[in-house]
Amino acid sequence: MNLLKEKIVNEGKVLNDHVLKVDSFLNHQIDPFLMQEIGKEFAERFREAGVTKILTLESSGIAPSVMAGLYLGVPVVFARKRKSLTLSENLLTAGVYSFTKQEENTIAVSGSRFTNKDCVLIIDDFLANGQAAKGLVHLLEQAGSHLAGIGIVIEKSFQDGGGELRRKGIRVESLTRIDSLSGGAVLFAEEAEV
Amino acid sequence: MNLLKEKIVNEGKVLNDHVLKVDSFLNHQIDPFLMQEIGKEFAERFREAGVTKILTLESSGIAPSVMAGLYLGVPVVFARKRKSLTLSENLLTAGVYSFTKQEENTIAVSGSRFTNKDCVLIIDDFLANGQAAKGLVHLLEQAGSHLAGIGIVIEKSFQDGGGELRRKGIRVESLTRIDSLSGGAVLFAEEAEV
């Protein structure tokens, strides 16, 4: 994803050694053309995986997921973050600990959205310590759905979430991997490692 | 939008005289193909309006907005609903009263996302009493941006939000308008009125 790397280099802001701000094309303002390319790339990588649904987390995961769903021809479900849910009864919930805010939040999906016949691709914007991804995996475990894998737009490979998920045998496909944000600069992982 | 009407008829659930649940294709699970068609329709209706950006509200507004942004060739910005914002300084905020929850919430966008050179299309999933739309309009007023109009996926025309906005001279384009949900049935407004 050279287009994504260019965007990160040109528009990303390194706030400190751990935080990359991508508010101009992914997390607050969204670049629809970039999302389309990201969706095509996820679809290509998971084309043969038998995906029946995509699961993501509001809000920044929605745009790349909807584009991936379009090119895979499958629906997208977004988990909600708050407890004040207007979803139906039969909620599946999981706790997601936020190291930034030092608090645990609940994420939830309607249990009627997933069955043990589903083969689900999880998509999210960032992967760092893997808390959100693990919460989403836990939702699918409760539904008895099969996990096709996890698609990530930007992985901070200097944090352990990706490694931990891969060591569990989960297929994690990250469109970009960042090895370091030290000194205000984005250092991408070598292509060969991706 | 016959496809949208069919979806509403076949999959929408009328919970009471005021609430239509569309969790299977818009508000929780998303149908990406339908979103693409919705995006094309918004783009066609606002093609000549000189739109430079789309503004929506997390989370259900994001999918139709990103598709509209793709076909109009403009970026999308989503306002956040919570106060715990990781956005930059210089926030523009507005209060949005929720009649359902009987509480006022704050919505916010980064002030750096809009200028007085922007011509902005607001897109949202539902229009009922118009509180969310008015909040979004208020954000743009603070930025000094021009308002191209408001695009709505489903308008409950038996509530006054749409009428109120139109009486102010704002162009409101709703892809479907529902005149009544009485007796558990969806009654669409006559095409001629749309």
Whether residue A88 is predicted with pLDDT greater than 60 in this model: the reply is: no
* pLDDT score for B192: 47
Q: Which CATH class is domain B32-179?
A: alpha beta
Distance from the Cα of A32 to chain B's closest Cα (Å) equals 5
What per-residue confidence (pLDDT) applies to B85?
A: 52
Q: Which residues of B touch A80 (CB under 8 A)?
A: 28, 59
pTM exceeding the 0.80 threshold for the entire prediction: yes
Average pLDDT, chain A: 93
**B27 labeled part of a ligand binding site:** yes
Is the pLDDT score of A194 beyond 50? no
Q: Do B59 and A66 touch (CB under 8 A)?
A: no
Residue B91 CB neighbour total at 10 angstroms = 17
pLDDT of the residue at B194: 43
Phi, psi values for residue B129, rounded to 5° = -85, -10
> Which of A29, A62, A113 shows the shortest C-beta gap to B59?
A62
Q: Which CATH architecture has domain A2-186?
A: 3-Layer(aba) Sandwich (3.40)
A30 has a chain B CB within 8 A of its CB: yes
Per-residue pLDDT band at A1 (split at 50, 70, 90)? confident
Q: Are B49 and B114 in contact (CB under 8 A)?
A: no
User: For residue A191, what pLDDT is reported?
Assistant: 60
CB distance B127 to B172 below 8 Å:
yes
pLDDT for the residue A86? 56
Q: Is the pLDDT score of A192 beyond 50?
A: no
pLDDT score for B98: 82
Determine the average pLDDT of the residues in A44-66.
98
Give the model confidence (pLDDT) of A101-157 as tens digits. Answer: 788 889 999 999 999 999 999 999 999 999 999 999 999 999 999 999 999 999 999
pLDDT value, residue B87 = 55
Q: Is A20 annotated as a binding residue?
A: yes
- Which residues lie below 8 Å from residue A181, measured CB to CB, with a gap of 6+? A14, A16, A17, A18, A19, A20, A156, A158, A187
Q: What pLDDT, on the 0 to 100 scale, is given for residue B27?
A: 94
pLDDT in tens, chain B (194 residues): 899 999 999 999 999 999 999 999 999 999 999 999 999 999 999 999 999 999 999 999 999 999 999 999 999 999 998 754 555 568 999 999 988 778 888 999 999 999 999 999 999 999 999 999 999 999 999 999 999 999 999 999 999 999 999 999 999 999 999 999 999 999 999 764 44
**Cβ–Cβ under 8 Å, residues B20 and B12:** yes
pLDDT greater than 70 at residue A193 = no
